[in-house]
Amino acid sequence: MLNGSDNNILVTGGAGFLGSHICEALVNKGEQVTCMDNFSTGNIENILHLKNLKEFSLKTQDVEKEIFLTSDLIFNMACPASPIAYQKNPISTFQTAVIGAMNVLQLALRNKARVFQASTSEVYGDAKVHPQPEDYWGNVNPIGIRACYDEGKRCAETLFFDYKKQHSVDIRIGRIFNTYGPRMQINDGRVVSNFIVQALNNDPITIYGSGEQTRSFCYVDDLVEGILKFTYQEKEFGPVNIGNPKEITVLELADIICVLTGSRSKIQFKSLPQDDPVRRKPDISKIMDLIQWQPKVSLEDGLKETISYFKNSMK
């Protein structure tokens, strides 16, 4: 049934930034979608436009609790992803990443369902290999302030592979790199949202470190297309990198946002946080060869859409 429509699909963390876009794309495909969220970081406004559709239903539940649903396909998007959110309660973050993964895998096992795990570029840590290919094991501080998320996601990948090896669960693992777009939280502490809010308010734009550290930013529509195409294909279970390989310095990003917003903001430099990666760029040759996917939306066009969203949200 996976290649057709009318699948029963569960999206955990479905009211979050990425999760809500996954729900929307699946509904548009004609799938029957259950959004599950405990609203610790998700936002009901992200899914209000879907709530009354016959293809959509909402279940308020924490992924740390056992899940009793009938599903053909599961997208496990549940976990705080911004440093501010996941460092607020590191034990809960780790439990969400690991116990949540166990619960969706148990559900997949019972239902003989396929399950996509939203992993992250953070599994590479402060990478010593650049760009980062999937066979790089990473450079992660296991006891640092980011470890609850980094190591939680690494542990979740281990669980997914063990369920595949021991129980033949049909898994897909995507390592998601920096993503931006409408429905990002205004106060989530990520660099794109921080810069946009500061620029729109003409406040100083806060850059940590010299600003020469790099990131690669993928617009959310491109990312969702990559996730869905990868999840529905039959040849590869992953992990695969999903992101935009166009690398840019944080300082360049600030300059672009200032120009697009017409901001009068000045740059303010602060010290770099512990374990913050210096360079981040995905090697996406694996997913390009597999499903002929690559990002299409330019950074400037994606930022214009995101800035417009933030302007409306801040009224």
For residue 282, whether the previous peptide bond is cis, meaning omega lies within 30 degrees of 0, is: no
- How many CA atoms within 13 Å lie on the side-chain side of 252? 12
Q: How many whole angstroms separate alpha carbon 118 and alpha carbon 179?
A: 12
Q: How many whole angstroms separate alpha carbon 4 and alpha carbon 126?
A: 40
Active site includes 149? yes
Query: Strand runs (DSSP E) across 139-204, as ranges?
Result: 170-176, 179-180
Q: What angle do CA 215, 216, 221 make, to 5 degrees?
A: 140
Q: How many whole angstroms separate alpha carbon 43 and alpha carbon 105?
A: 25
Catalytic, out of 149, 163, 180, 219: 149
String of DSSP letters for 236-275: ----EEES---EEEHHHHHHHHHHHHT----EEEEPPPTT
Contact 276, 216 (CB under 8 A): no
Q: Is 266 exposed, middle or buried (0-12, 13-18, 19+ CB in 10 A)?
A: exposed
Residues designated as active site: 149
